[in-house]
Structure 1
Amino acid sequence: MPLGMWDFEHCDPKKCSGKKLVRFGIVKELKVSTRFRGIVLSPEGKKAVSPADREIVQEYGIAVIDCSWSKLDNVPFSKLRTGNDRLLPYLVATNPVNYGRPWKLNCVEAYAACFYITGFKEYAQEILSKFKWGHSFLTLNGELLSKYVQCEDSTEVVKVQNDWLKDLQAEYTQAREKDNEDVDLLARNPNHEFWDQEEEEDDDDDDEKDEDDEEDDDDDDDDDDENTNNN
């Protein structure tokens, strides 16, 4: 299956997974004017990649647009000759640059995700094997990918994605509520109340001592006044 890549030189060549795949001879660099008839993973896509795209992938392959997420405005999407633009659904990156960040997949993760969702799991595993960390992508996203691959079309993939995100939000909200309910564990310990009572008693004793000292000082002042008058 042909794999293509439009490279806009936004990435560090030493860290770019796409360039590494080009060096391996797995991916072919494309010129802006080059037409690609396969699935193109692009932010300009209107549909999510799905198992319905399997035949297109099998016959024409996959292409990615290698650019920085922060420089999308500089990419001439309108000049790219594509016919099957697709969006990738929610997945979490495991590459060293964006580990743990949702949506921020690099080139090899994008190829692997598209392969997996369209039913070419073995191709996904093979391309990821070129990277030391590659296996972690399928491990972390395995459950969700297995749901996507069972869908029939883009609409179902998007529904699975949205249901997954709702569950994540519910878990997050529940965790926040639990954190807000947490109290000082010592407050549930009867000994804590005893310590508080001891502290209060100590404070009372200190107050009484201060009052006694003040009375002694007043007596001393009276004696001094008497001595002064006697003189």
Structure 2
Amino acid sequence: MTSVEESLENATINSSSTDNSDDSSSESSDEEVPDFPIAMWDFNQCDPKKCSGRKLSRLKLIKTLKVKQKFPGLVLTPTGTKCVSPNDRDIVSSKGVAVVDCSWARIDETPIAALKPQHGRLLPFLVAANPINYGRPCQLSCVEAIAATLYITGYKKLARQYLDKFSWGHSFIELNKNILEVYSNCSDSQSVIAEQTKYIENEQKQQELAKQAKPDFPSSRESESD
């Protein structure tokens, strides 16, 4: 389990962590249409066939920004100083949300700092459900990061719609349902971090209890000598 500090620093986005399903998913008439922009910077570091951001772009569910293009809304970036919280709803509703589409393996060479967003945000602790990083803390794909932000800021239906475009998408909500609900009921970034800390500490305690409860069987050599 990563520490709180590590989980915050690692809460950037790995867009290459998706499946190879086709783009046959089409928007139904009862789907919610966002009245704010959802965008990404694509640094062309990922396999286009496995990139969740690219698939969202093909489905016209996300706008691709130029590398040096500014974005006025909430930006998910490791250079952020605050966590996404329900308090960010006004920013999302009026100016939108954007994500950095890059590879985890090349994060150090990606000029993220040059974006200089006005509303840079970190994602709190969440577990990835994408096929490549399934079960790993914080290594979310583009669509998971966007969905998490939408969910926390109160756009839960829209979050599910974005995830539904991927065969594995429903698993993200299932894996993180409890903590996402907790985050979505917080007041601000500080309370999100406080809840994150409690959640991580509880998970660590549960892991320790599980280890203690596991029977310590003697080795075969020891059994033979008895």
Shared fold (TM-score, shorter chain, > 0.5): yes
Equivalent residue number for residue 128 of structure 2: 93
Q: Residue 64 of structure 1 is aligned with which of 64, 80, 99?
A: 99
What SS does the corresponding residue of 2:83 show, helix, strand or coil? Answer: coil
Alignment pair present for 1:120 and 2:151: no
Opposite residue 32 of structure 1, the aligned amino acid is V
Alignment pair present for 1:145 and 2:180: yes
**Structure 2: which 5+ runs fail to align?**
1-35
Instruction: Tell whether the 8 Å contact from 1:32 to 1:79 is kept in structure 2 after alignment.
Output: no
Alignment pair present for 1:12 and 2:47: yes
Taking structure 2 as the reference length, the TM-score comes to 0.79
Equivalent residue number for residue 73 of structure 1: 108
Instruction: Tell whether the 8 Å contact from 1:44 to 1:85 is kept in structure 2 after alignment.
Output: yes
Higher relative contact order (CA 8 A, sep 6+): 2
**Structure 1: which 5+ runs fail to align?**
185-191, 201-231
Instruction: Tell whether the 8 Å contact from 1:34 to 1:81 is kept in structure 2 after alignment.
Output: no
Measure, in 2, the Cα distance between the counterparts of 1:96 and 1:182.
33
CA-CA distance at 1:77 after TM superposition: 2.0
Aligned ranges 1:196-215 → 2 under 5 Å? none
CA-CA distance at 1:175 after TM superposition: 1.7
Please state which structure has a larger fraction of its residues in helix.
Answer: 1
Instruction: Tell whether the 8 Å contact from 1:4 to 1:64 is kept in structure 2 after alignment.
Output: yes
Taking structure 1 as the reference length, the TM-score comes to 0.77
Measure, in 2, the Cα distance between the counterparts of 1:125 and 1:78.
30
Equivalent residue number for residue 216 of structure 2: 182
Q: Equivalent pairs: percent with the same residue?
A: 49
CA-CA distance at 1:32 after TM superposition: 2.0
Instruction: Tell whether the 8 Å contact from 1:4 to 1:29 is kept in structure 2 after alignment.
Output: yes
Count residues with an aligned counterpart: 187
Alignment pair present for 1:40 and 2:75: yes
| Aligned-CA RMSD value | 1.8
What SS does the corresponding residue of 1:97 show, helix, strand or coil? Answer: coil
Instruction: Tell whether the 8 Å contact from 2:39 to 2:62 is kept in structure 1 after alignment.
Output: yes
- Is the radius of gyration larger for structure 1 or structure 2? 1
Poorly superposed stretches of 4+, deviation over 3 Å: 181-184
